[in-house]
Chain A
Amino acid sequence: DAGITQSPRYKITETGRQVTLMCHQTWSHSYMFWYRQDLGHGLRLIYYSAAADITDKGEVPDGYVVSRSKTENFPLTLESATRSQTSVYFCASSTANEQFFGPGTRLTVL
């Protein structure tokens, strides 16, 4: 189906483990984004990418790594998960101003 998908939808992991959240879009949008959403903070930008092989930090990049080898995929990796990274993660893509969001991944770090 066309659109933007995220996997897994739910993930429980332990402190110190590496976790990768996947994001895939079928529109060939050039821009892709990762946000985290926490109570009291709204949506905060972690990383974004303007095109394949071009990524840049957002507001809260520490503890996260991204890559964009193909236009349609934008995985987010937590190299060593911490409890403070428990959150809901949203991926988005856009051509210009309007961003289209995925359904989110709820990550719990124990």
Chain B
Amino acid sequence: GESVGLHLPTLSVQEGDNSIINCAYSNSASDYFIWYKQESGKGPQFIIDIRSNMDKRQGQRVTVLLNKTVKHLSLQIAATQPGDSAVYFCAEIAHSGYSTLTFGKGTMLLVSP
């Protein structure tokens, strides 16, 4: 697969633990945020999104938290599984609907059985 994980911040957890992946974004005008998951050898895959008028959104086993005051996003994964091992990217859009994303550099999540 592609070696996109080298030189990335890495989070190592045990199967069943909860994982928290953090992201700092740069543009205070950004009003829409997305988390993507990228497995080795594949393209990024949408996980969950959040608009700037929200501070929390939940999906299946995932929760995204948004703190606009400090321009910080986090992705929480409950009961982490080996299949969650991947690189996770946050992305921001300055104007919702315009569709030009700015991606963070990513965090590699390694889940041990």
Same complex for A and B? Answer: yes
Q: Is the beta-carbon distance between A40 and B89 smaller than 8 angstroms? A: no
B interface size (C-beta, 8 A): 25
Closest B residue by C-beta to A29: B99
Check B4–A37 contact: CB distance below 8 A: yes
Which chain B residue has the least Cβ–Cβ distance from A50? B99
Alpha-carbon separation in the docked complex, A40 to B45 (Å): 20
- Closest residue of chain A to B43 (Cβ to Cβ) is A101
Contact between chains at B34 and A98 (CB < 8 Å):
yes
The docked-state distance in angstroms from the alpha carbon of A59 to that of B89 is 18
Contact A43 B99 (CB under 8 A): no
Q: Tell me if A34 counts as interface (CB < 8 A to partner B).
A: no
- Per-residue CB contact flags for chain A residues 74-110 toward chain B (1 = under 8 Å, else 0) read 0000000000000010101010111111111010000
* Chain B residues within 8 Å of A102, by CB: 43
Closest Cβ of chain B to A76, distance in Å, is 15
Contacts of B42 in A (CB 8 A): 103-104
Please determine whether B7 and A43 come into contact, CB atoms closer than 8 angstroms.
no
Render B74-106 as a binary contact track against A, CB cut-off 8 A, 1 for contact: 000000000000000100010011011101111
Contact with B along A37-78 (1 / 0, CB 8 A): 101111111001010000000100000000000000000000
Question: 0/1 per residue, B30-51, Cβ < 8 Å to A?
Answer: 0010100000011111100100
Determine if B53 is an interface residue (Cβ-Cβ < 8 Å).
no
- B: residues with CB less than 8 A from A are 2-4, 6-7, 32, 34, 41-46, 49, 89, 93, 96-97, 99-101, 103-106
Nearest 7 interchain pairs by C-beta: A101-B43, A42-B105, A43-B103, A31-B99, A101-B44, A42-B103, A94-B99
